[in-house]
Amino acid sequence: MNNISKRVIDEAEYMVNTKKTIREIAKVFNVSKSTVHIDLNRRLKNINSNIYKEVKKILNYHLEIRHIRGGESTRKKYENL
């Protein structure tokens, strides 16, 4: 297994275990969020389709609740001012 494949699997397993967002995973693995996005949406499908299905469910959930997260972040920002 090459380095990219290993990183993709590691990111996917981390997401499945922690339910973290792409941004959070990017910080942990010290790569850009674009890299994580490509890894989990394109590369993972060809490497391990079983994990891909689990990751896709988590990614879809994050898409569904992103408007709520954004609103919470904005509220917290202005509470601290």
Q: Which two tokens stand for residue 31?
A: 């790569």
Between CA 52 and CA 70 the distance in angstroms is 26
pTM of the full structure: 0.81
Domains: count for the chain: 1
Domain holding 58, by residue range, is 3-79
pLDDT tens digits, 29-75: 999 999 999 999 999 999 999 999 999 999 999 988 887 777 777 87
Per-residue pLDDT at 44: 95
